[in-house]
Amino acid sequence: MITPVPLGTWPTPLEAAPRLAARLGLAELWFKRDDLTGLGAGGNKIRKLRYACAQAIAAGATTVVTSGAPQSNHARLTAAATARLGLSCVLVLAGPPPESPRGNLLLDRLAGAEIVWTGDRPPAEVVAVEAERRSAYVIPFGGTSPASVQGYVDCARELRAQLPTVDGVEVVTALGSGGTMAGLVRELGPQRVIGVDVGAVPDPRATVAGLLVGEVEPEALRIDGTQVGAGYRTFTDAVRAALELTARTEGVFLDPTYTGRAMAALLAGSFPRGERVVFLHSGGLPGLFGHPEV
């Protein structure tokens, strides 16, 4: 078992959301506030990076390389985590550089990360080149690996301590690179966790199952695919409505890529769920400022 590095503030709060629960027809709704993890503007990636950075340090790395979209929350939090740990950070971001950096890109630069744009090249190819050139440690897309899944086992155990009747509760989470859902499933079981696909990976079911080999059958995973829309980087009317309703009933801000999609699915009733729900707020607030269309 890897000993995680000391990043973040734990446990994150569990907050009741009665006004939004009433609008959704739920008996009980809570937000697990993993947007309040305490480092680099917060977010779920910190739980994974505690393990990924521990592996990098154990390997003797002084530089890490990772990848993501231009408004990647994972990239921003990797920049913050490596700054805290005294490591150098290279972010390989998809596509060409924007004319004016916004949102997470501003924070990437403030934290001292070097940004390499892929242009038309495949991100994996650029990551491999940069890692070899710098003798750097590669943290996978989204910070997700079999080891970092433990970060969301930790989260599920926090839930058990915060909500003693958690056995009757379902957890709804955005499903991107798969590690958050996989960790929750490992601790709570596949019938208690609902992942809302955001379009980050081609086959989310295979991705999550691949992190839990021998632990769960892929068919047992509860995955909702109704909110992908035209793709990972798109912003939909359903997500806009979810952001507005959550902010106006509970004063909680969601992001347009991950938590916005997860809440949109919950609002639409597009999957069967019980009357008691925990919504995993995985962060991403800086990404709002990278989407002026919001």
Q: Please give the positions annotated as active site.
A: 72
Structure tokens of 257?
A: 């890529």
Strands 28-33 and 14-16: antiparallel
**8 Å CB contact between 252 and 246:** yes
What's the CA gap between 243 and 279, in Å, rounded? Answer: 14
Q: 123: cis peptide before it, omega within 30°? A: no
User: What per-residue string of b and e applies to 218-252 under the rule 16 or more CB within 10 Å gives b?
Assistant: eeebbbbbebbbeebbebbebbeebbebbeebbeb
CA 126 to chain centre: 23
